[in-house]
Each structure stands twice: as C-alpha cells, then as structure tokens.
Structure 1
Amino acid sequence: MKASLLSLLAISTAVSAWLPHERNFFGEQPNSVARNLAAGKGRSVKRYLSTFNKIRGVNLGSLFIVEPWMAGQAWEDMGCGDSKSEFDCMVKLGQEAGNTAFANHWDTWITEADLDSMQDYGINTVRVPVGYWFVEELVYADSEHFPQGGLAKLDRLCDWAASRDMYVILDLHGAPGAQVADQPFTGQYAAEVGFYQTYQFERAYSFLQAMTDRIHDYSQYRTVGMLEVVNEPAKGHANLVSEYYATAYAKIRESETNKSIPADQQLTIQFMDSAWGAGNAKTVLDSSSGVAYDDHRYLKYSNIEQSKSSYLSTSCSDTFGKDANSPVIIGEWSLSVDSDQENDADWTIADPNNTAFYQQWWASQVQAYERGLGWVFWSWKAQLGNDWRWSYSQAVEASIIPKDPSNAAQLANC
C-alpha cells in the first residue's frame, strides 16, 4: 500500500458517512409509532417502535448479473441456452447480438412498476449487484466477454429509486477474475478463482473509484449511500483482508477527499462480515468509521437440524456481529429450505398446511435481522414457477409475506 493511502487510513477516524437512520431518511413508516405521549399544552411527542428506520430491502438479483438457475425463461429468451454465465452467453452470441439481448433484459427484468410495487409492499431499500465490467475500460477486450451499455441502465435504475426516496446499496458482485469458482453470480463461471492477485485488485479499485466518482457526480445516484467492495469472497485468501480490504477502503476515501465530499455525504463502505469466514475486515479497519458489514443468512445451508422447530428457534435467537463487526445488515436471506427436503410433505409449498410455518419463519427472521440495521431479501423476483421461497414479490402475492413488514412483530411468536 502506498504511503498516501496509509496516511489516509490513519486519519479516517474523522470520516463519517450516511446511513438511513442517521438522517431519518425513511421517515415515519406504517405502524412505526408505538404511541403518542402527552407533552403538555395539548402537544404530544411520538415514541417509535424499535423497528423504526430499519432497512427493509430486496436484492435486484439477475438484473445486471443474470443467474440462470433463478431466471431460466429470461435466459432462454435472450438466446443463452445452456450457457452457464453471462461471459459464456456473450461468447455464444457475439458482442453485437449479446449487447442487444442484454439491453432488452435490462429494460424488462426490473421496471418502474416493480419499484412502485416495492413501495406498496413496504420496501425502502434496493441492493443492486453489478460487475466490474460496467466500467468498460477495465475489460480485457481480447479475452473477456461481457455485455456493454449497462452503466446507462444503472443510472436510470438509481434515478427511479431516488425519485421514490429508496436507499440504494451498490454491490461489486462480479469481481475481476472471479472471487469464487463455479458461480454464475460472478458473471463468469470460472473453474478457478483469479481475483486474489494484486493486478486484479487494482482493477477492482479502479471500479470502486469510478463508481464513487459517479455516485457523487451524477444526481441519479443521490440516494446511493453504501458501496460493498466484494460479494461473498472465497475463504482461504489472507490477502483479501491485508491487501484488498484495506486498500479498497482507502481508495474510496481518497476519491471522496479529492472531491472535497463532506463527511456526512461520504459513502458507507461495506464488507462481508467475519461470520462469512473469509476474514475480518476490522483487523485492518479498526479505527475507520463509515463502515458497515454484510451477513448472509441461508439456514438451508447451515449446520442445524433440518426441522421446522429448529428453523424457527434458530431465527428467533439469531445474533450477529461476530468479532465486533458492527453495524450489520443481513444482505441476503430467503425462505428456501434444505434442497434435499424442500419438496417433501413437511416443507412443500403445495400443501397449505405448511403456509403458517413459512409466514412465521419469515417474521422470525425479520424480527432478528432488525436488531441490526435491517435486511435485504434475495430476491425481488425469480422464475421458479409457483415457488415463492426466493421471490419477495411472489411471496407477498401468495399472502405469505404481509404488505406491511411491521406485522412481523405479531407473526413471529418468538
């Protein structure tokens, strides 16, 4: 790390940043007032519930990085067939045809009407997964194949969110070289990870700085308050923390310092929390402010008893912030259960006798996650037939999730 970056880290205790609750950004939400207290002379003051000003969000999964498992029909319509990732589909279609196919997908997968529905369903935040290739000059034209033109669509999406006073988290979901193997969410179904090298880190810093500049320069990004430096990195790479996390933080702050961005307008910089198992960012950012952590809670993959009572008790008593990682947002979670059992009689969504469990489990998770800054469900939509366990919009339409998330308090029974 350069000396100038080390110096920036040393003074970072002066850095603030903005989170929704610090600005009362969401304002008074439905059912957020516990009661009005008399203040004399006919006046009253409001006492709010502990859930007031919490992030209640959805991921816009498969918008800018399509994952075929959850968007099968869209993938077919784009002509991607059995391609495993965006990279593979672009190789198949060629640049021009691929650009056209992806542009049409960006125009149709999430529309303004979706954001209106999100508001109607009590959603106040969107997390937007993007790939480093959105900064097109970072792409190696002779060996990397990604759709072009996405940045303008991201501008439009952020403007839609801002016009509805929705908080936006931008997330580097697809890192240079792929941060994990065999995962379409990286945009490239790589047989081996290639991210954990200095030259790839340098490309990621360039992406983060370009996005930081764009967020502060373009009014469309006026409600983007958080930038996540990488999603779900692989475990076992020590330089993720010692090199990448430390420098990514410094690079973002360096860009903001160069622009003379006031402390209360600087971005909150987000890292995967220690519980993810890839390292603890706090060891290199202990004195740094304007930091938040991202915890992903999928009990279907957890080492717990696969029973309804276990799911409910685990969620009700869930705690977060391992190794002093705070504040925490649960950036991904769902209603999906163990893959080997999800269609068994005790779990299938086809049996209405299971409805009460899924309603209660949703509420139990919400209750737990709102002990922190809040939550972001994966995902807003999915193409999995009638299975709403990965689709917030479908789960609301199926009356599994209530339109007012504040009703979780009555449904959880924790």
Structure 2
Amino acid sequence: MASSPSASPSSRRNKKSPLSKTCAALSLSALVAVLAFAGSSAATSSERSHHHHAAGAEHAVRSGALPMDGALKRALAPGQFASSGFDFVNDKVRGVNLGNWLVLEPWMMDTNTSTVLNAMAKGAPSSNAIVDEWTMGSYIDKEWMANFFTQHFDTWINETDFEQIAAAGLNHVRIPIGHWAFEDCIEQGAPYQALNRFDKLKEGVLLAKKHGIKVWIDLHGTPGSQNGYPGSGHAAPAQWPNTPENYALTQKAFNYLAQEFTKPEYSGTVTAIQPVNEPIGAQQRSVQQLLNQYYPWSWDALAYPNGTDQPASTVMLTTHDAWQGLAYWEKFYNQTQAQRVIMDCHPYFVYSDQEKSSKDTFRLNEVCQYGANINRSMNFYPTVAGEWTIGAPQGDNIPSLRDLPVTDAVTFKSGSPFTAKYMQFLAVNFRAQQQIFEAGSGWLFWNWKHLAYADQSYQTGMKYGWLPSNAQELEQQPFGSLCSGTKFVTSSAFIAGTGSSGSGGTGTGAAGSNFLSAKLPAIAAVVSGSAVAVALSSVLL
C-alpha cells in the first residue's frame, strides 16, 4: 500500500507542519539522531499501525478494556452519543477548526504580522526566531505582547465568523486552547501569558450556541509539550512526560475545562472535549506510557466533573490516535467507556518525501485507501477527522503534477490566487475526503481562516468556489463517487471540457508557494530527497 497521510495540519501541523512543529528548535544533528531511531520503526503511513498488536494488548490491560463486539456497541451507543447534543453515530460532523485564535501559530499569519513579531524580538538567536508562543514570551516585551494578544483575540475570531460558519452549513467548530490559558497551570519558568483566553473561549462557545453551532474543545498544548510542534506552545523536544509537575498541571487544566463546559448553560452546545492534541505516542514511548494513564483519567474527569455522587455529564471525550493508527485503540477503552468516546484522527496527505513530488491522482488514491481505516474504526467508536487539509505540498507551483482530467462540474470565481487546474484539484480533493470521512462520523477542516496559505483556508475556498459555500452545496457531489474500494476513480463528470471554469491566478506568492519548505527552509533544504526526509515525514506527523 502506498504511504498514507503524513499527519499534522498542514500540519499543522508547522501547524501544521509536523516538520516545522517538531524540528524548529532541534539542532540538525539531534534531528538526524531522532529520525534515525524513529525511522527504524515508523510505519509508511501517517496512520501508523506499527507494533500496535503487541502494544494494543498491553493498553487493553492497563485501561481495563475488554474485547468489544463492534455491532453490539453500535446497537447500544446512539442514545448515549446523542445526549451530548449531537448524534455522532447517525449524523455527520461538518466543521472547521478555529486555529490560531487562542493559541497563536505565527506560520498562519500574514507576512506583515510575522515580520513585525520578529522585528520586536530582542536577543533572539535568529531573525526568524518567533515560531510559537514560547518564543514570543521569551524575546518580545511582555506588555507589548499582551496588547498584541488581546487585540488578536478580539479580531481573529468574532461573531461575524460564527455567522459565516453557520451560513456555510457547518455544524461544528473545534477550538484549540493551551494549558497556559490558566495562570496556575503554567509550568515553572515558562514565558506564557494567560491573559483573557479562558474568558474568550467561554464567549466563543456562547456565540456558537447563539448561532446553532456545536463545539469541540481541544487542549492543544500541555506543559513541556506533548509533541514539540509550534501549536503546542513550544517547538522543542517533547518533555510532557518528563516531570510529575507537567502531568499534574495538565490534569488541572483539563479539570478546569471539564468543570466549566459541563455546566447547564453549555449543555447541547459543547459536545466533546479533547484532553490533548496530537501527542506523539507512536514516536516517543514515554508519551504513550503517559497516555495510558491520562486518557482513562480524563474519561473519569469528564464523565464525573463534580464527583461520582453526581449524575454523569453528557459531554463526550475525544481521543486523538497519537499517530499510532486507529486500529491501535480498538480495545483501549472498555465497553462502558467506549460509549462516551469519539476517536480523532488527523490524516494529512502531503508530508512524506514521496508525496512532495507526487501527482494529484497519487494523492487522491491515498485518500481512498485511508477510507478502510475509518470504516473499521467505526465498529468501535464514532470516528472523526479532527484536522485535515486539501493543499498539495508544492502548492500551485508545479503544473506537471496536475494530472486530473478536465471537468466543468464546479465553477470558480475570478481573482483567485490559484490556477483553474489547481482549484479543480482542491475541489476534487475536498470531495474525496468528505466522502471517506462521512462514511465515518465526519470532519473538521483545518482551518477556518489562514492568511499565509489560501488553500488551507475554508473561508477563502468558499470565496473562490473550490469549497462548498452553503448546506445545499455540501450535500451535492458534483464529481460523483470518487472512491471505488481503495482506488480513486473519475466519473462522467470528468470530461474533455474547456477548462474555462475561472481563469484563476498565476499560482505565485504566499498563497501558492510550497508551504513545506516555507516553514522550515533550512531543514527542508538539508533533508530534501534524502532518507532522513522520509523518516521525518513518517515520524513527526
């Protein structure tokens, strides 16, 4: 099977790029050492399945899990899941992430803002040192930074965004928040500022409620960092499992979220809370060992935030697959626990060395292959793609990679930063992934807005026509069924058309640039085309 999604939003995963996330603070020699170790055991897919048979049995024992018949679980679960305010078994999550709002990720900002942030840095090791909130706090005046943060919280997402999200026919938002939103959860010596983030989160949830949108809250960063990605707050080696303090502060932060958002005023709006985003359990054994404790603990904390003598909450627990692959978790939770769990995966089909130079149909075949993972996981848990994107690694810069047949099934608007052929790929890629994710419990696109890479912005995609702009369009499948089993197929919608569905742009500039190399140019240049690059894509995502 071809290598599967590398994972991290565009990855994020800088966000989104797992590349940028984990590598930014590592010396090249340290990075190569990590990759040499991890590469020896990494799976070819970002939905990693390596060693899951042996390790899975161990986890089942640790969590008290019992073998569970998928059909039995399906028969029991619908009422329980529906009590959260959304029926994750029978309905489909269609939503967006509100990334770069309460957790800033500079790689998602416009060039001018990034330039200003770096210009404000004092004593930084390089001219582009501002990559996360840790470096902001370390090198920029705290008062200046506090003013910047509070203005950003008010403007990046506001009520207009919730109005537009509802009008787009979307039913969910996923809101990332860091542990440092709580002053007493900041680890000793960390340069974070809590400010009014938690108040803004509560305000956002109530705005979502006002506009009929469900909310999935995501603890995006933990003390010490669970993954070393910029979005965790600190782009450096993951040290989350290294101290008891880190774990205790994580529990404290999660308790704050659980106790607040299980209150009656949020009932039916907050449907799920995620105890940690993208922990690198597959790449770092100590992270997985901590997850073996933390996931069951967080299940209890969310089910009974006010003690076991009180009725259980109706909010679901969201479990990210820790890059282990969905099958790894099938028996992690026992039958009772599983009826309160949503499984979260973040398939990004863009980061391996092979994918960087692959044609569009290759990438779409990867999408179709991934559908089998979703289908199997649905026998155990409602499964949602909590982050994903549709851009190509090289953006719109290499016309020879556009190998889809021409279709006029979708019309694009003029003025786009992309060519018509690239917009067609974006439109087809969205529909293919929508189809496989909705064979499961749905999806949350990364991201609602993105100022650096237009092909990662749902807002921009609606504006120019490569993404649906309302509920009716979300129900339509203009290209027909795009997956036959595990293979990508084209239907009669793909014709020898004129290719005149909007002229698009030149594909130049930030919107059409290679977001992989743009995030970590130095490392990308060193590892490009090498075995290390292959390890990087499969280990860090």
State yes or no: 1:331 paired with 2:422: no
Aligned to 2:239: 194
Output the CA distance in 2 between the equivalents of 1:180 and 1:122: 33
Contact 2:182 2:194 in 1 (8 A): no
Q: What residue identity is the alignment partner of 1:252?
A: L
Aligned to 1:350: 418
TM-score, with structure 2 as normaliser: 0.63
Aligned to 1:311: 363
Output the CA distance in 2 between the equivalents of 1:336 and 1:253: 38
Aligned to 1:226: 272
Quickly say closer, same or farther: Cα 1:23–1:102, change in 2 above 3 A: closer
Aligned to 1:104: 151
Aligned to 1:129: 176
Bigger CA drift: 200-209 or 216-225? 216-225
Output the CA distance in 1 between the equivalents of 2:294 and 2:64: 14
Q: Write the deviation string for residues 83-108 of structure 1: whole angstroms up to 9, x where unpaired.
A: 12112112333433322210100000
Q: Which is richer in strand?
A: 1
Output the CA distance in 2 between the equivalents of 1:336 and 1:326: 28
Q: After TM superposition, give the deviation of residue 357 of structure 1 in Å.
A: 2.4
Aligned to 1:266: 314
Quickly say closer, same or farther: Cα 1:243–1:373, change in 2 above 3 A: same
Decide which of 111, 125, 140 is 1:93's aligned counterpart. 140
Output the CA distance in 2 between the equivalents of 1:145 and 1:274: 25
Aligned to 2:290: 240
Contact 1:388 1:395 in 2 (8 A): yes
SS of the aligned residue for 2:477 comes to helix
Output the CA distance in 2 between the equivalents of 1:164 and 1:308: 37
Output the CA distance in 2 between the equivalents of 1:278 and 1:176: 26
Output the CA distance in 2 between the equivalents of 1:161 and 1:401: 22
SS of the aligned residue for 2:343 comes to strand
Aligned to 2:225: 178
Q: What residue identity is the alignment partner of 1:393?
A: Q
The number of equivalent residue pairs is 377
Contact 1:215 1:222 in 2 (8 A): no
State yes or no: 1:70 paired with 2:108: yes
State yes or no: 1:154 paired with 2:208: no
User: Structure 2 stretches of 5 or more lacking a match?
Assistant: 1-60, 67-72, 120-127, 403-416, 483-541
Quickly say closer, same or farther: Cα 1:94–1:275, change in 2 above 3 A: closer
Output the CA distance in 2 between the equivalents of 1:142 and 1:201: 16
Q: Say what the alpha-carbon RMSD is for the aligned residues.
A: 3.4
Q: After TM superposition, give the deviation of residue 193 of structure 1 in Å.
A: 1.2
Decide which of 457, 472, 483 is 1:391's aligned counterpart. 457
Contact 1:347 1:354 in 2 (8 A): no
SS of the aligned residue for 1:56 comes to strand
Q: Write the deviation string for residues 152-190 of structure 1: whole angstroms up to 9, x where unpaired.
A: 111111110011111100111111110112x21011222
Decide which of 53, 66, 69 is 2:91's aligned counterpart. 53
Aligned to 2:262: 216
Identity among equivalent pairs (%) = 22
Aligned to 1:30: none
Contact 2:84 2:315 in 1 (8 A): no
Output the CA distance in 2 between the equivalents of 1:97 and 1:278: 43
User: Structure 1 stretches of 5 or more lacking a match?
Assistant: 1-5, 27-49
Q: Write the deviation string for residues 341-369 of structure 1: whole angstroms up to 9, x where unpaired.
A: 65211458632133322211111110111
Counterparts in 2 of 1:361-400, with a 5 A limit? Answer: 361-384=429-452, 387-400=453-466
Quickly say closer, same or farther: Cα 1:196–1:156, change in 2 above 3 A: same
Quickly say closer, same or farther: Cα 1:138–1:23, change in 2 above 3 A: closer
Contact 1:355 1:400 in 2 (8 A): yes
State yes or no: 1:249 paired with 2:296: no
State yes or no: 1:297 paired with 2:350: no
Output the CA distance in 1 between the equivalents of 2:189 and 2:353: 43
Quickly say closer, same or farther: Cα 1:171–1:378, change in 2 above 3 A: same
Output the CA distance in 1 between the equivalents of 2:86 and 2:326: 33
Q: After TM superposition, give the deviation of residue 408 of structure 1 in Å.
A: 4.5
Q: What residue identity is the alignment partner of 1:66?
A: L
Output the CA distance in 1 between the equivalents of 2:475 and 2:77: 36
Output the CA distance in 1 between the equivalents of 2:308 and 2:79: 16
SS of the aligned residue for 2:373 comes to coil
